[in-house]
Structure 1
Amino acid sequence: MKRIGSFFCVICSAFLLAGFLPLQAIGQSNVSVKSTVTQTTIYTGERIQLTVEISGDFNDVSRPELPNFQGFRLLSNTPSTSRSFRYVNGQSSTTYSYSYQLIAQQQGDFRIPPVTVTIDGEDYQTEPIDVSIVDRNDAAQSGGSQRPDIFLQLEVSDEQPITGQQIISDVVLYFQDGLEVNSYQPVPGWKAEGFWKEELENTQRPQATSTIIDGVRYRKARLLQFALFPTKSGELQISPYEIVVSVRSTRSRGDSFSSFFGGFGGNQRQVELKSDPVTLNVQSLPAAEDSYYFGAVGNYNISRDVSAQKATEGESIEIKTRINGTGNIPLITKPEYELPDGLEVYEPQENSQLNRRNHQISGNKTFTDVIIARKAGHYTIPEQKIAYFDPSQNRYVSQTLPALNFKVARNPNTVANGPSAGTMPVSPVTGLAAWTTPAPTDLLSHWWFWIGLLLPIGLLVVAYWQKRYTDRMSNDRAFARSQKAADTSNDRLKRAVELSEKGKVKEAYNMLQKAITGFIGDRLNLSEAGLSNKDYIQALEQQNIDAELIKNIRMLLDKCDSISYAPTTTPEYLKSHVGLAQSTLEKLKKVL
């Protein structure tokens, strides 16, 4: 019995230990310990507050064990404490906060070491914190007083990006203590030449934090944030950003802020601020290993599929290419595929959805190719290898899209209903031959008599019409523009193709835009200069033009208008837009 009892005790102890350890591990995994300071850049003699916060589900916690502080002096070992409880979804959570006052004593860069806290018998440590202490006397002699009391600055995430890489530009306002910023209003018209720009959404109000610049304490607040995509390499300059700020000084009339506004301290004033330009050294994309790069820079996931595996002759099938991720989504062009013979391909459709939150541009873009098979059979679109450039890895990332297969059946409605085989669609001629004597006819019964009589009259009518047409072409400018519109647009389309073959893609798109807007303006007798794309679209809408036709025209004009921001476009892609413009103008000629 003794042996059995001893063995039973050992087994029970093992089970209890096995059950206890996971519970303890689970409890500890829910514990969080962190330390923070009120400021990371301070003057000598200034105070900062070090706060140690413990949160989670635990039973016992000890007071933090403070390390030795270099560059600081601890004012008191007794902290100010606070405690709070939370109960969410059946889980309880406790938060303890211990706050200590430190005074900066020595100039330099220092690190506040980790703080140790014992929780339920286990030791936890916080992360170290880097701080800088600035000597107040040295700062006063450094010339920092030359800075204004309030100024604007553009701050970028990367000063040496890759072409097409997403960089974040913050519009940051700096102002000294004693100033109250009530509101701000951006000045419209900011153009970042050489960049495609997208304003990012910020759901939170600007929050001011403290910092020291050239020995002077400022408060800083990020007002706006933009995603910029450089479209070419080399030295590019981001133009200054301008805002109008409503501020109020709480200082006396004799201080520097009052003189900055002309001696009206304490009153609210509107101030125009302008940031300095920022110069970036944009690096060229490295040479692609193959020809499968399609202009995407970022981090993406790419897929494609067909709308149906079975169809009949003449039915349309859609090939959808989906690209989602983070990067230059607005500038991505459609990957080119090798299609088998027997398929008619129409202008691809583009659809994109952008997410401007989380301090970056992300989202997806879908290209839809519409194809129609004109004969029955099995079709295979071979697998396609494509690549995008990932700046975080500084290399091209390749991805293989699988092959697409579909079957096209014969359409029974296309079979012609002709005569049955073996029968001749000819009726025999029967009867006897009859001899007749032609009766005499007069002159008026001959066709050539009437032609000879009416031909001079017709020539006179044509000559009169031609003379009137020539006079009107010379004197009526609106009529002349309308009559020459088609020929002029055709010449411009041919010129666009010639420019694209010479590699002048931007000039080619400009010529393509002139072909479309020139035809509309000539037909509707609009002003020959000073009109925007919106004006041409509104003019078409007033003529009750088909909405789908107007949609294609708007897409073409937007493409031409944005080509100065877009990446390098291939001549083949330009030719597809020329083809779409030709078909669109042919439709437009029928209704204008």
Structure 2
Amino acid sequence: MLKRIGLFLCLIGCLLPAYGQQISIEFGPATIPIETYFTISIRLKGTTLKQASPFPEIEGFQKSNRFSKKTTLKSGNNLLEEIHTQNYAALNEGTFVVKPFTMIINGLAVKSPGTTVQVGPIIEDKEDITASPEAPPEAKALPNKTPQSFLNLETGKKQVYMGEGLHVALYFYLLTSENGQLEFYDFLQQLPALFKQIKQPNVWEEVFEQTEILPDTVQVSKVPYLRYKLYEAVYYPLNSQSLVFPALSLKMVKYTRAKDATFATEKRLSEIKEYTTEPETIMVKPLPPHPLRESVPVGHYRLDETLDRTQVTLNRAVNYSFAIIGAGNISGLSAPTLPTLSSLEIYPPQVKENLLRQQQRVSGSKRFQYSIVPKAPGTFPLNRLWQFIYFDPVRERYDTLTSRLILKVSGRVDKDAAIGTGVTGDFYKLIQTEDNTLVSLHKFEELKLYTNLIVLLLLTISVYLYLRKR
């Protein structure tokens, strides 16, 4: 009987951590035009994605293995939310059913009830970055004159500026005539070693997430191949050291028909065949002379900013936010250092990051939202607070983004006024009469712990009495 009670308590203990985590599965819009992706997202609150099972296959849709989106919402240094999105391309118009499914996320089984998706005709002149079709595979020269399967490390450029994005991908090209004759060998052991050889010590790495390795059909020098993407990332060099990629080798199992095989008894011989890439070196150029060239971001950016009110009275809080949008190392962008002003009280920003990985580059936005409380009347051009200097590698020149908004503050400074943010009401009138005794921040946590222990004790007694009567 005691063993049964112990087993029951262990079961409850195992369920408590799962109950505390906030992980959910969400769907994109239920009605989409055929040129737009349907999406399934994993939303995590207060934690990051460590491990997840593959997203489900959906009848009538093609799962994209070259596109993902990651959104993080931060308040100070605290991670509030993280979203990982899988995209599905509709093959035909019509109504499609996404059946209920379960995914294992960070060791937890998360269930989804499924949904219904209505795919309509193409909508003309619709601008949507998330609906951009994937770029078709680019034709490239064969490493050998005779068509055959091969392993190839592909880089987007032969030289880049320091901080400029470099697309790196490792592909295995399987000749369609050899399909069925070649198989991957000891894949889970070979891939980590290959990735370790590709990675560079002096770069910021943005890996294109993929849960499955699926082939696409390409033509190389007018020869059809099945192309398997084994690895894809964008590298941002942190200094001017060259990127050196060694020769990479992948072992495959190749089958050949035995000489004594007959029509009735087909025999195949297997052998290990090794495919090797050519070594490659990418030169990294230093940025042109500039006082901040060691720290300026590199990429192509534009500014989007909002100010909820351009005219405000003294001590009234106003929200100001700006987003850096474009292609570059978005994750590496840090909040600007704002000057300390006696006339404006500026609180630390809330940061929201949105990344898009598609078409061999990383783009997106990073938004900084500030709360500003004016402490003196006057006119305040916000371009005096900050400026964003960056280097554009396409135009090969430095550029600056700065605010065009102006905050006008009216009112008269009252030296005897209490410190405030302009929020008034009956609540603050109670301050003089309320008790100011300090209360422990962990008081309610302790109360919750004691309550859980009491409930657990009652459950144990109930189980004990039930088993005793039997």
TM-score range, shorter chain: 0.3 to 0.5
Normalized against structure 2, the TM-score is what? Answer: 0.45
Higher share of residues assigned helix: 1
